[in-house]
Structure 1
Amino acid sequence: MDFQQQCLHYCNFVQTLTGTHCTLIRIPDGSFCSEPFRTVCDNYQCNASHTHLYGAYEAERWDGKYIYYCPRGLVFIATMVHDPDNQGDLCMITGPIVMANSLDDPYEDNILSLENVEGIPRMTTQQTRALSELLRAAVGYLSQEDRAPNVDSGRQAQLLNTMYDLYSSAEAAEYPIDSERQLQQSIRAGDKEGSQRLLNVLLSGLYLACGNDLAKIKQHVHSLLVLMSRAAIDGGADVNDIFRLSQSYEPEIEKLRNLEELNRWLSMVLHRFINFVFDFNDIKHHNVIYQTTAYIKENLAEKLTLEDAAEHVSLSKSYFCRVLKDELGYTFTEYVNHLRVERAKLYLRDSTMSIADIAYAVGFDDQSYFTRIFKKLTNVSPGQYRKSKK
């Protein structure tokens, strides 16, 4: 399938998802790769090639996307698609759309006639802007070679699908906060596909809630970055590795110029975090190790015993000990101490809690014992660790 066919295939997908007509126009000669929308244009002086070339030229000027009116007053979205083989640039033309100021407004005043508009999608101005941003982000994957790891055009199609489901619902403007918790669970489990799907939900909700306000979206992305990093740590990633990545990523957010760049960048960050998560799938007894790790983390502040942990995963003590040693190289006590020290690192970095309080919070009854174990595993005392991370 050549590049133009790929683009047309993608146009069909956009049309199927949104119900909005979608085609391609060749910018060099103004010809269409497939038929433009003509159903309601018969009684209006409109040359489709001229109208949509105008949109394409404006899209070239305005960062690859442009929303415009046709002579009748219907709305179209022009989205640039750069051919990597340099066979001539194309522009995706999505529309018509009947655009309203809000869901309470029947139609925009710009429309010259309400005849023959049945079946044309209606969107608010906010939804139209969100669709234009999502289209721009998605078609970028058709023409750019520098792609985020494991993020292909199929996943960008999922992003469009998710966005359409959201703006079609009555709760389109509500940010899907429950998906944040689900994303954390998915990252902890090292589930790349599930995590990407949930990130799509969050990004779609974020775009729809914030409209075209990139600064406001970036504020939310900072919080999302913290959420993702903490989930990776809970999934077994090393605290130092994740915080080192996070510190390098924070200033990068401010350099992002548009939602396409933000979408690609955040997907890349997600997959890098997950790559640091402990991969239970490579372990013979992965289900046992996963359940054990989750059980310990949920009960870190409590008294943990070998007997209770073995019972939790339905194994005898002797067999359970052998599984831990063979798969992780730890005894039960060593593994508990390892997870407690990793949690303590978070408190030392991000809180003003005293070292004694941190020791108790992660399950040590004695501060001196906590200090001894911490230094044994990290080669520095808790106080030295805290100072080095300020």
Structure 2
Amino acid sequence: MAEGYEHSEEKAHLEEKDHLEEMLDNFAKATELGIIAVNTYGEVFLASKDYYECTYCRQVQNTEAGKAHCRRTYKKACRQAFMWKEPYFFVCHAGLVMWAVPIYADGTEVGAVMCGQVLLWEPDHIFHQDAEKFCGSVEERAEMERNIKKLRVISADQCQSSANLLQVMMQYLSKTQNAIFMDQKNLLSWRDAMTTRIEERKKTLENEKFDWSVYLKREKRYLQYVRMADKDKIQNMLEMLFTDMEILCSYDKTLVKSALHDFMAVTARAIVEAGADSEVVMNGVKHYRQDMKHVENIEEMMELTYRMLNRWFDSIYLLGTDDHISVMKTVREYIEENYNRKITLDDICGHVFLSRSYLCTLFRQKTGGTINDYILRVRIEKSIELMRNRELSIKEIMRQCGFESQSYYTKTFRRLIGVNPGQYRNKFL
């Protein structure tokens, strides 16, 4: 019953997103104006399917510096729109007229719709001169001149009317608690809180003595929580790890970027072991590395990493509409609830109403490993949790985690972790 509810809720979420995209699409087609939705950081989170963007803007945003400048412009426009609580008209850094219409979700500011990319008058020689700063060669200047000729010139009344229409649309959607806007509200709330906690923690830790060995112990604990899909503990650990990383790298951009690449690589493996689709995660790593090539600011590196991690964690916790992924979730939950007793493949198959061969094939396709591998991984991770209680012996811990043979437990622990249980307890806990 719960699964059916999750599926219907996710279906409704997708329908709302399609409906919102359709509204933006129709507005863009009717007005031939560029329109996007950005969050309070100036980052685009929604655009119409046939997003209309002028070629002039494309050329300006052809470099990472140009994109970053646009984000800063959008971020500032968001603040102004929230302050005035109505459409805010402005001239962007590239000289185009735009307007920002504020977006709210449950009374919380989540971003703005950006529209325009037009002129109110024919471009003069000053406009042409200013545009040259976005060009690095003769060919680029020639292309810029062609793109300037394509810019639309509209009246002030047309600007105001389109802004008024957008405001009515956003007010209606805000009152209906649109799921896309609510998602942005929740994501921004977590992101703002995380950023604040990291900055506060940096101030208190800068004078404390700690080294990479302390960091690596914390990272091991974080990966353990990832494999166990413990979302609350993961978020608490992220705050600690990112702060440690910045301080240990002495705030050096190159060192931080390298550390983040290593961090994402080990996180990716742990997330796959937790049940995420291996192909999706590996593709995510590839795109993450490509995006990081163009980021030089440490804050933006951290934000990019947060976004990637959120998408990965969603693949474990939110799970989407894929029936196969829902099966994976049910299997994982069953194992985590019964790891301390004997679990057979028949027990699991009976719980999810699937044949042995089908479930084994599906599990291997989705995780790259076997069900037995996952059971052993969960038991080992649970045993590590219990090791923090020094009153429990290794033998007692082993039995509480479903192992009957101490030699088999030790052999499995060494294979998965790299050292035997006693060494791990003394060295890392």
**TM tier, shorter chain?**
0.3 to 0.5
Give 1 or 2: higher helix fraction: 2
